[in-house]
Structure 1
Amino acid sequence: MRHEVIVGVERRRRWREEEKLSILGKVGLNGATVSDVARRHDITRQHIYQWRQELRRKGVLPRTSETVFLPLLSPSESEQSRDRQPLEIEVVLGNGRRLRCASDLPLERVQQLIRAVEAA
């Protein structure tokens, strides 16, 4: 565990762009939330949101692209018998996160899950 001793009045820390990118990259890894990452680095959640916005504005961090939904073809009854488990699909999102779900999940539910994962 690292401790920082602040001498004087100033509490404001200076973060290099590389440090900000490193911290931002940890959000979503192994299920880490913004709160988890902020707590781990002794910053507020707002720092992370502000850094995202700042780095996107500078062009350092890619803007979130528009979500593209592709039609899912459900397997026919002949391809998948009732006693077998449904196939699993994996969706790789623009931010590098992955969503795995059953292939027989309704398209509307898949869309909701993708939106939830991208918003996290």
Structure 2
Amino acid sequence: MSDFINRPQIEVLSAADGERRRHWSDDDKLRIVEESFIGHRQVTATARRHGIGRSLLTTWRRQYRNGELGSSGSVSFAPVT
């Protein structure tokens, strides 16, 4: 018989071991979104090129279309005359 005993190796992971989330500035988001609108079927290729998920880029594109992305100023009202 064999003397081999199968013992599972236990590895302890901590939160510091994983990658941190990246923070994208509004300027970077706008640049990436505008790049994705150039040409046909550019969402997946653009997301892959910048190392982000396609769903994240789709969310940014929706925010861009709704005017929610990159609005640096606060909302103000114009007087009606």
Aligned-CA RMSD value: 2.6
**Which structure's relative contact order is higher, taking Cα pairs within 8 Å and 6+ residues apart?**
2
Is 1:46 the equivalent of 2:55? yes
Matching residue's letter, 1:58? E
Among 65, 68, 81, the residue aligned to 1:58:
68
Q: Which runs of 4+ in 1 moved over 6 A?
A: none
Q: TM-score, normalised by structure 1?
A: 0.37
Which consecutive residues of structure 1, in runs of 5 or more, have no partner in the other structure?
1-6, 62-120
The CA distance in 1 between the partners of 2:19 and 2:69, in whole Å, is 30
Relative distance call for 1:11 and 1:29 in structure 2 (3 A) is same
Equivalent residues of 1:34, 1:45 under 8 A apart: yes
Amino acid at match of 1:38: A
Greater fraction of residues in strand: 1
Q: Percent identity?
A: 31
What is the TM-score with the length of structure 2 in the denominator?
Answer: 0.52
Residues 43 and 54 of structure 2 are in contact (CA less than 8 Å); yes or no, is this contact kept in structure 1?
A: yes
Structure 2 residue 69 is the aligned partner of structure 1 residue 34? no
